[in-house]
Homo-oligomer: A and B are copies of this chain.
Amino acid sequence: MKISAKGRYALDLMIDIVQHGSEKCVSIKESARRLDCSQKYLEQVAAQLSKGGLLHSVRGSSGGYTLTRLPREYTAGDILRITEGSLSPISCVESGECAKLSECGTIDFWTGFNKVIQEYVDSVTLDDLVRSKEEKAGNNYCI
């Protein structure tokens, strides 16, 4: 039960855009260099976030991506659900498409599991993540 690389990239990309996009657009080329990952793959992640309304895209030369809201207005859940899908531990919790639901002994367990997951990922904002990263960066000078 793992979050995929795509989901991790998505969080890292959003953080990177906050940190480097105060005035201007942030291009995927830059971000991919900083995050040390495939530019082409990161493009796909960004496109998904843009399509999902989490990023605003600017095409053409000197284009790139900007946020559509303030960092504190995104939760980690918002970002992960776009790239990962639902984050629910099993699919029937959401779809309800199981013939045996009425006799299922585990559905309450799965529903509760889903609840704690969603509550946690929605309790952390992009702003929290950025501040966490900045703290870490600061610590480097203290070692």
Total chain A interface residues with beta-carbon distance under 8 A: 41
Copies in the complex: 2
Contact assessment for B124 and A89 in the assembled complex, using a CB-CB cutoff below 8 Å: no
Give 1 or 0 for each of A101-125: 1 = CB within 8 Å of chain B CB. Answer: 0111110110011001101110010
Instruction: Answer yes or no: A59 CB below 8 A from chain B CBs.
Output: no
Q: Kindly list chain B residues whose C-beta atoms are within 8 Å of the C-beta of A105.
A: 12, 15, 129-130, 132-134, 136
Given contacts A109-B129, A124-B112, contact A104 B136 (CB under 8 A): yes
Cα(A5)–Cα(B48), bound, Å: 28
Q: Which of A4, A105, A120, A140 has the most CB of B within 10 A?
A: A105
Cα(A128)–Cα(B124), bound, Å: 31
